[in-house]
Every structure is written in C-alpha cells, then in structure tokens.
Amino acid sequence: MKPPLEPHTQALHQRAQDNLHFIRTSMERASSFTGVSGKSYCVAGITVFLATAVAQQQASPAAWLTVWMIELALAAVIILWMTMRKAQAQGSSLWSSNGRKLLAAFTPAMVVGGVLTLNCALQDAYGWLPGIWLSLYGAAVMTAGAYSVAIIPVMGALLLLSGSVLLLLNIDATLLFGVIMGSVHIVFGLLIWRSHGG
C-alpha cells in the first residue's frame, strides 16, 4: 500500500492537475467554439414538437408554412440567446473568432433553404419542404460543426441523411419532419449538455 502524500506534495499535485485542466480547456477553446448550448437545443426541440402539433391542425399549406416560419424564428432566438449566455459564462463570446467562423459556415446553406422555401411556396410545391429543410439544415450544422464540439457534425449528418431519404422517397413527411427535427434536437442537446455543460 502506497504511503499517503505529504500535505505539501498533495497541494503541488492538485495544482499540477488544475494547471493541466486549464491548459486543455484553453486549447479546446482556442481551436473550437464550445459555447453551443445543449439546453437551448432541448428547449428548441420541445418547441418543434409544439409547432408540429399546431401545424398539423392547419387547413392550408400556406398556414402550415406560416407556423413553421414562426417556429424557425422562435427556435433561432432561443438558441442564439442561450448560446450567447453560455459563451459569456465561459468567458468567451459568440462573436469571437471561432464563433464568427461557425456563423459564417452555418449561413450559406440556410440562405439557400430560404430561397428554395420561397420557390416551393410560389409553385405550390409544399411537399418538398420537409426534405429540403432537413437536408439543408443538416448541411449547415455539419459545416458549422467544424468550428464547434465534435458531436455537432454528427447531428448535422443525421439530419442531412434523414432529409435525403425523405426527398428520395417523395412521401408526405409533414408530420415526420417535426418528429425527426424535435427528437434530434433533444437527444443531441442532452448529449452536449452532459459533455460540455449547459
């Protein structure tokens, strides 16, 4: 049995461990944006389920689309606000170098999604939207995830795969879209929350 360490040696050992932890954390923050809020993903996932229930009750495709546009704005505000708060608590900022890179990588696919949404609405082709949204949002999350924690690109890949399957099968996925989007956000939100804090 090893003899217990002297108090002075214990203090040095603890200080060395603390220093190593600080170095590891600093290196991770320098190479990626770790402020993504897992809690915000969970909350957004819940609002997606609520929006799904409301959207399914709408009498017209245009009303269905309106519900989802409101949900998009609500979820974006929730995720951005909670992510900014988490980043501040970490002593970082969403507008840091890596935060700006993440946003820049996320934006192009979302802009394309907006253009395609408008095009589908003008042509009364609403049935394509669930697959398009999942695919392009997944692509946005994957590319932005390159500047964030490792699990984010996995989330994006799953969404991209789901959207691709819906597009290839060409089925009515208005309900399935909400189930997939809500579930993925809650599951990955919990994983991020557990591994990287709120």
The Cα–Cα gap between 109 and 196 comes to: 26
Angle between helices 61-89 and 97-122 (to 10 degrees): 180
CA distance 168 to 157: 16
Token digits for 144? 């932005």
Domain boundaries, the chain: 34-196
Cα R_g (the chain), whole angstroms: 21
The arithmetic mean of pLDDT across residues 62-69, rounded, is 96
Per-residue pLDDT reduced to its tens digit, 18-62: 766 665 555 444 456 667 888 999 999 999 999 999 999 999 999
CA dist 171 and 189 (Å) reads 28
Which residue spans within the chain are E strands per DSSP? none
Helix (H, G, I), strand (E, B) or coil at 152: helix
In this prediction, residue 101 carries a pLDDT of 86
pLDDT band at 6 (very low <50, low <70, confident <90, very high): low
pLDDT value of residue 10: 63
**What does pTM read for this prediction?**
0.79
pLDDT band of 97, cuts 50, 70, 90:
confident
CB 139 within 8 A of CB 111: no
**Tens of pLDDT along 147-172?**
878 899 999 999 999 999 999 998 88
